[in-house]
Structure 1
Amino acid sequence: MLKEIEIQNFRCFEQIKISGFERVNLIGGKNNAGKTALLEAIFLNVVPEPSSILLLRELRKESLLAMKAMPDKAWDNLFHVLEKDKSILIIGTDENNDTNQFTIQPIDPKIIDRKTLNLSTSHTNKSNESTFWVSSSTDLLIASSKGLINVNGDTDGITTDSIPTTGEVPIIPSFIRISGKELTQAYDRARLDDKDSEVLKAFQVIDPAIESVESFSIGEPTLYLRRKGEKRLPLSLFGDAMNRVAYIMLKLVNAKHKILLIDEIENGIHYTNHRNFWRILFRLAVELDTQIFATTHSLEMLQAFADVGLEPNQECSSAYFELARKPKTNQIIGIRRDLETLNYALEHQKGVRGE
């Protein structure tokens, strides 16, 4: 379980170190305070693959055509204030004080070859260190000791990692609506592991009248829900909240990396359902031995998080992290609040979202 992360020269972070992560972690702050970037840094540290760098571009909806048109600026958005003369460094530390180090640095595409990679990695990379090079050329390459990825989809014959779909990674963006086919496939995986009942319970938080979930593969695989006394209907007809909850729950019960990253967790979920939704997440985080990181702008979601975390006999550890900028330096810092401190601040209407 991740307990601490240190980030240098990545996105909006010049340098930041955040400690004290628990089983379930909620992250707040103003716009452009680094909430999404923090999730991305955790993702890169947990899944240190060349394809992970590409996936961040996909999730940010960065245009491949724009990258091709301006290859010298293709990877600028990864680096703090475009400082590509400095490497990106992300160091994660777990509860056993073991560390994983993830590094990204630009490299001249003319010198990327098998010999260069072998020489660069054979004596510098330990088993818990991952170094990647991004090249600003018309080829738009990502290189590592595992081989090369060409963003255009070609390969130079070394080793090419496939670009994963959003369903294969532990991060849930704030805006995405997943396809019915992908949700159905994820549900069938959960059903195979006898975890499908948890998905039904989550649906019932939003609509207690839901009594069954079924998957059918007639034409395109589709999930159907049935309310008491009504005919089954496809999930797509039940609105954004149901689709969002389905995606979160299926990601959680199928999480092979034992971590789940959720951006703007409140999206689509009515505030009256926040507490029951947190209760499910807290319980499953313990039962599935999975760590959860979520961001929010919602005061109601924050209050529900504190209330559930402070309930008697709550077995799941949790903490709140507020991201804010220092007035003098504009540097982002992370402030950890235990739930008692958070609840006190909420009750006395003190600023807890970067104010």
Structure 2
Amino acid sequence: MIESIEIKNFRCFDSFKMSGFKTINLIGGINNAGKTALLEAILIASFPFPSLFNTLKQFRPTSENEVWAYFFHNREIDKPISLKLSKHDSSDSSDIEVSYNSGFDLNNIIEIQDKEVLDFLSKQFSNKCMAVKGNFFGEKLNYIFSSFVEEEATSKKSGVRTVGITPKKEIDTYPFLHTNYRLNNKSHAKLYSDLKQQNKNKTYDELIQLLDKHIISSEIDAPNGEPVVKLILDNGQALPISMFGDAIRKIAELSLLVLNNENRIIFIDEIENGIHFTKHQDIWEKLFEISTTNKMQIFATSHSAEMIKAFNHVALSAYSEHASYLEMSISPRSQRVMANHMDMETLAYQLATKSTYRGE
């Protein structure tokens, strides 16, 4: 379980440090106060894989010429990003440095004797590369990567090219539920199949039923050879998940995330989006139940007063020692990101006295 994070020169963070994370950590605050950037920093330090950078790049689309520069504070690409992560139950840490390379020597990454091989690799990597090095919980990292886009007759393919020492074990899907992106039918069906093999599809149904009691169960179908998850209604209809509104699709993806990531860290951006405020408390009760049972750690963001109040109410009822709240704001003097870490009693007091708790 993550205990602390130290961030330098990443996104909106010049220099930032926070400790005392618990099982479920809700991050609140005004817009553009670093909530999502904090999720991304913890995510990178937890999964410093080349493909993750490409995933994060897609979440914040910009021109290919400048895409990597926006990872750096004030686009200061001459200084490296530094991310240091420590855990409660381990002396090992993740200490990652990410640099922008406008010109690099491949021999600093790997030993290459053959000039032709060196020339070939150099051509594969544009002058807009990123270099990652450091210690990832006892595992040495030292690699460079650059993005590419290949256009074919009917499609466009993007990815990253990598050379050097990367983490030994990559993952297919990162445990990050982004506010603006929903899974396609194929990806949803694969993750649903994974949880069904673990006999967790009933819990998937229960989470969806928190929003709509007319949905009684789920199944996987392949009407045209492509697998599709369908939700079965109490009138007998079975409809593809894509036919439902954003709230149902989001809670379904949230279910896939928490049920397929036992003993892992998961990240949820703007958890309240699309979900009616009357359901917030039900969602938190289920998340606390699942996370404490499955030894899972959750980092979520919200700027919804109703969602934050529901989180506090549920945590105080039975989970105070498992919950923490971060109020993110911008200093009016230095313009730096600030964070006020609260336990549940402090948050309850702020709410009761109508004091600041969202960086107001």
TM range (shorter): 0.7 to 0.9
1:61 CA drift (Å)? 2.2
Cα separation, partners in 2 of 1:346 and 1:158, compared to 1, 3 Å: closer
Cα separation, partners in 2 of 1:215 and 1:74, compared to 1, 3 Å: closer
Cα separation, partners in 2 of 1:155 and 1:87, compared to 1, 3 Å: closer
Cα separation, partners in 2 of 1:154 and 1:178, compared to 1, 3 Å: closer
CA-based RMSD of the aligned residues comes to: 2.4
SS state at 2:6 partner: strand
Cα separation, partners in 2 of 1:170 and 1:246, compared to 1, 3 Å: same
Cα separation, partners in 2 of 1:51 and 1:146, compared to 1, 3 Å: farther
Cα separation, partners in 2 of 1:25 and 1:289, compared to 1, 3 Å: same
1:292 CA drift (Å)? 0.3
Partner of 1:28: 28
1:190 to 182, 191, 195: 195
Q: Distance in 2 between matches of 1:306 and 1:30?
A: 18
Letter in 2 for 1:83: E
Residues 50 and 142 of structure 1 are in contact (CA less than 8 Å); yes or no, is this contact kept in structure 2? Answer: no
Residues 8 and 15 of structure 1 are in contact (CA less than 8 Å); yes or no, is this contact kept in structure 2? Answer: yes
Partner of 2:332: 327
Partner of 2:2: 2
Partner of 2:44: 44
Partner of 1:202: 207
**1:237 is the counterpart of 2:243:** yes
Partner of 1:131: none
Cα separation, partners in 2 of 1:34 and 1:338, compared to 1, 3 Å: same
Cα separation, partners in 2 of 1:205 and 1:154, compared to 1, 3 Å: closer
Residues 50 and 143 of structure 1 are in contact (CA less than 8 Å); yes or no, is this contact kept in structure 2? Answer: no
Structure 2: tracts of 5 or more residues without a match? 112-122, 133-140, 149-158
2:230 to 221, 224, 229: 224
Residues 285 and 316 of structure 1 are in contact (CA less than 8 Å); yes or no, is this contact kept in structure 2? Answer: no
Cα separation, partners in 2 of 1:205 and 1:157, compared to 1, 3 Å: closer
1:110 CA drift (Å)? 4.4
Structure showing the higher strand proportion among its residues: 2
Cα separation, partners in 2 of 1:154 and 1:337, compared to 1, 3 Å: closer
Letter in 2 for 1:351: T
Partner of 2:347: 342
Residues 51 and 160 of structure 2 are in contact (CA less than 8 Å); yes or no, is this contact kept in structure 1? Answer: no
Using the size of structure 1 for normalisation, the TM-score is 0.85
Using the size of structure 2 for normalisation, the TM-score is 0.84
Deviations 1:221-271 (A, max 9, x none): 211112223322222222111100011110111126701100000011111
Cα separation, partners in 2 of 1:159 and 1:320, compared to 1, 3 Å: closer
**1:352 is the counterpart of 2:344:** no
Q: Distance in 1 between matches of 2:349 and 2:359?
A: 16
1:178 CA drift (Å)? 1.5
Partner of 2:109: 117
Residues 3 and 21 of structure 1 are in contact (CA less than 8 Å); yes or no, is this contact kept in structure 2? Answer: yes
Residues 224 and 234 of structure 1 are in contact (CA less than 8 Å); yes or no, is this contact kept in structure 2? Answer: yes
1:109 CA drift (Å)? 3.2
Letter in 1 for 2:207: A
Deviations 1:135-159 (A, max 9, x none): 9x84533445564434115858768
SS state at 2:57 partner: helix
Cα separation, partners in 2 of 1:157 and 1:300, compared to 1, 3 Å: closer
Letter in 2 for 1:141: C
Q: Distance in 2 between matches of 1:182 and 1:37?
A: 25
Letter in 2 for 1:117: I
Q: Distance in 2 between matches of 1:154 and 1:294?
A: 28
Residues 130 and 144 of structure 2 are in contact (CA less than 8 Å); yes or no, is this contact kept in structure 1? Answer: yes
Letter in 1 for 2:108: T
